[in-house]
Amino acid sequence: MKYTVEMSNKLNELLERTYDAEKGFKQVAEKVENKALKDFFLNSAKQRYDFGQELKAEIRSFGQAPDKGGSTKGTLHRSWIDFKSMVVANTEEAMLEEVLRGEKEAIATYNDILQDKDFVLPPSTEGLLMRHRNAIRKTLETTHIFETAVS
Protein backbone atom coordinates (compact mmCIF):
# COMPACT_ATOMS: atom_id res chain seq x y z
CA MET A 1 0.00 0.00 0.00
CA LYS A 2 2.80 2.43 0.88
CA TYR A 3 4.41 1.84 -2.53
CA THR A 4 1.23 2.73 -4.44
CA VAL A 5 0.78 5.92 -2.41
CA GLU A 6 4.41 6.94 -3.01
CA MET A 7 4.07 6.13 -6.70
CA SER A 8 0.87 8.13 -7.05
CA ASN A 9 2.50 11.06 -5.20
CA LYS A 10 5.36 11.09 -7.70
CA LEU A 11 2.97 10.82 -10.64
CA ASN A 12 0.73 13.52 -9.18
CA GLU A 13 3.77 15.82 -9.03
CA LEU A 14 4.24 15.24 -12.76
CA LEU A 15 0.52 15.68 -13.34
CA GLU A 16 0.58 19.11 -11.66
CA ARG A 17 3.56 20.11 -13.79
CA THR A 18 1.70 18.86 -16.86
CA TYR A 19 -1.39 20.92 -15.97
CA ASP A 20 0.88 23.95 -15.51
CA ALA A 21 2.60 23.40 -18.86
CA GLU A 22 -0.71 22.97 -20.69
CA LYS A 23 -2.04 26.22 -19.23
CA GLY A 24 1.25 28.00 -19.91
CA PHE A 25 1.34 26.92 -23.55
CA LYS A 26 -2.26 28.06 -24.04
CA GLN A 27 -1.40 31.40 -22.43
CA VAL A 28 1.58 32.09 -24.65
CA ALA A 29 -0.35 30.96 -27.74
CA GLU A 30 -2.85 33.75 -27.03
CA LYS A 31 -0.08 36.34 -26.87
CA VAL A 32 1.80 35.66 -30.11
CA GLU A 33 0.91 36.77 -33.62
CA ASN A 34 3.27 34.46 -35.51
CA LYS A 35 1.09 31.63 -36.86
CA ALA A 36 3.83 28.99 -36.81
CA LEU A 37 4.68 29.85 -33.21
CA LYS A 38 1.02 29.97 -32.20
CA ASP A 39 0.45 26.52 -33.75
CA PHE A 40 3.54 25.16 -32.00
CA PHE A 41 2.28 26.42 -28.63
CA LEU A 42 -1.24 25.07 -29.21
CA ASN A 43 0.11 21.68 -30.29
CA SER A 44 2.33 21.61 -27.21
CA ALA A 45 -0.69 22.41 -25.02
CA LYS A 46 -2.61 19.53 -26.62
CA GLN A 47 0.35 17.23 -26.10
CA ARG A 48 0.42 18.13 -22.39
CA TYR A 49 -3.33 17.56 -22.14
CA ASP A 50 -2.74 14.07 -23.56
CA PHE A 51 0.14 13.51 -21.12
CA GLY A 52 -2.20 14.48 -18.29
CA GLN A 53 -4.79 11.94 -19.38
CA GLU A 54 -2.13 9.23 -19.51
CA LEU A 55 -0.75 10.16 -16.10
CA LYS A 56 -4.25 10.13 -14.61
CA ALA A 57 -4.82 6.63 -15.98
CA GLU A 58 -1.48 5.46 -14.56
CA ILE A 59 -2.31 6.96 -11.14
CA ARG A 60 -5.70 5.23 -11.18
CA SER A 61 -3.98 1.94 -12.05
CA PHE A 62 -2.33 2.19 -8.62
CA GLY A 63 -5.77 2.59 -7.04
CA GLN A 64 -5.15 6.26 -6.22
CA ALA A 65 -6.92 9.50 -7.15
CA PRO A 66 -5.26 12.01 -9.49
CA ASP A 67 -4.84 15.59 -8.29
CA LYS A 68 -6.88 18.30 -9.92
CA GLY A 69 -5.65 21.71 -11.05
CA GLY A 70 -2.14 23.10 -11.25
CA SER A 71 0.44 24.18 -8.77
CA THR A 72 0.98 27.57 -7.16
CA LYS A 73 4.43 27.62 -8.72
CA GLY A 74 2.84 27.20 -12.16
CA THR A 75 0.46 30.10 -11.53
CA LEU A 76 3.43 32.24 -10.52
CA HIS A 77 5.31 31.20 -13.66
CA ARG A 78 2.35 32.21 -15.86
CA SER A 79 2.15 35.54 -14.01
CA TRP A 80 5.84 36.05 -14.76
CA ILE A 81 5.14 35.41 -18.45
CA ASP A 82 2.41 38.08 -18.31
CA PHE A 83 4.79 40.54 -16.66
CA LYS A 84 7.65 39.85 -19.06
CA SER A 85 5.39 40.23 -22.09
CA MET A 86 4.44 43.73 -20.92
CA VAL A 87 7.99 45.00 -20.38
CA VAL A 88 10.11 43.20 -22.98
CA ALA A 89 10.25 44.60 -26.52
CA ASN A 90 10.44 41.23 -28.28
CA THR A 91 7.65 39.30 -26.54
CA GLU A 92 8.06 36.20 -28.71
CA GLU A 93 11.68 35.85 -27.64
CA ALA A 94 10.80 36.44 -23.98
CA MET A 95 8.02 33.84 -24.09
CA LEU A 96 10.29 31.33 -25.79
CA GLU A 97 12.86 31.88 -23.04
CA GLU A 98 10.21 31.10 -20.43
CA VAL A 99 9.12 28.01 -22.35
CA LEU A 100 12.75 26.87 -22.46
CA ARG A 101 13.06 27.35 -18.72
CA GLY A 102 9.84 25.45 -18.04
CA GLU A 103 10.76 22.59 -20.37
CA LYS A 104 14.19 22.22 -18.76
CA GLU A 105 12.52 22.03 -15.33
CA ALA A 106 10.05 19.44 -16.63
CA ILE A 107 12.84 17.25 -17.99
CA ALA A 108 14.67 17.54 -14.66
CA THR A 109 11.53 16.42 -12.80
CA TYR A 110 11.09 13.42 -15.08
CA ASN A 111 14.79 12.54 -14.72
CA ASP A 112 14.59 12.77 -10.94
CA ILE A 113 11.80 10.20 -10.89
CA LEU A 114 13.30 7.96 -13.58
CA GLN A 115 16.73 7.94 -11.91
CA ASP A 116 15.59 7.59 -8.29
CA LYS A 117 17.63 4.61 -7.05
CA ASP A 118 15.38 4.17 -4.00
CA PHE A 119 12.28 3.65 -6.10
CA VAL A 120 11.74 0.91 -8.70
CA LEU A 121 9.24 1.91 -11.36
CA PRO A 122 6.95 -0.67 -12.93
CA PRO A 123 7.82 -1.14 -16.63
CA SER A 124 4.55 0.48 -17.79
CA THR A 125 5.22 3.59 -15.71
CA GLU A 126 8.86 3.80 -16.72
CA GLY A 127 7.94 3.51 -20.40
CA LEU A 128 5.28 6.19 -20.09
CA LEU A 129 7.61 8.60 -18.31
CA MET A 130 10.45 8.01 -20.76
CA ARG A 131 8.12 8.65 -23.71
CA HIS A 132 6.87 11.90 -22.12
CA ARG A 133 10.39 13.05 -21.26
CA ASN A 134 11.64 12.35 -24.78
CA ALA A 135 8.72 14.28 -26.28
CA ILE A 136 9.50 17.21 -23.97
CA ARG A 137 13.11 17.08 -25.18
CA LYS A 138 11.83 17.41 -28.77
CA THR A 139 9.69 20.38 -27.72
CA LEU A 140 12.77 21.91 -26.12
CA GLU A 141 14.75 21.45 -29.34
CA THR A 142 11.97 23.02 -31.40
CA THR A 143 11.77 25.91 -28.95
CA HIS A 144 15.51 26.50 -29.43
CA ILE A 145 14.96 26.65 -33.20
CA PHE A 146 12.14 29.17 -32.82
CA GLU A 147 14.20 31.24 -30.39
CA THR A 148 17.06 31.42 -32.88
CA ALA A 149 14.64 32.47 -35.62
CA VAL A 150 13.01 35.32 -33.67
CA SER A 151 16.17 36.74 -32.06
Query: Quick one: CA torsion of 100, 106, 111, 113, rounded to 10 degrees?
Result: 170
Q: Which residues contact 139 (CB under 8 A, 6 or more apart)?
A: 44, 47, 103
Cβ–Cβ under 8 Å, residues 74 and 20: yes
pLDDT in tens, the chain (151 residues): 566 778 888 899 899 889 989 988 998 898 888 999 999 999 999 999 999 999 999 999 888 889 876 555 545 554 445 544 443 545 788 889 888 988 999 999 999 999 988 888 889 999 999 999 999 999 999 999 998 888 7
Q: So what's the pLDDT on residue 75?
A: 53
pLDDT of residue 5: 79
The CATH superfamily assigned to 2-150 is: Ferritin, core subunit, four-helix bundle (1.20.1260.10)
pLDDT at 83: 43
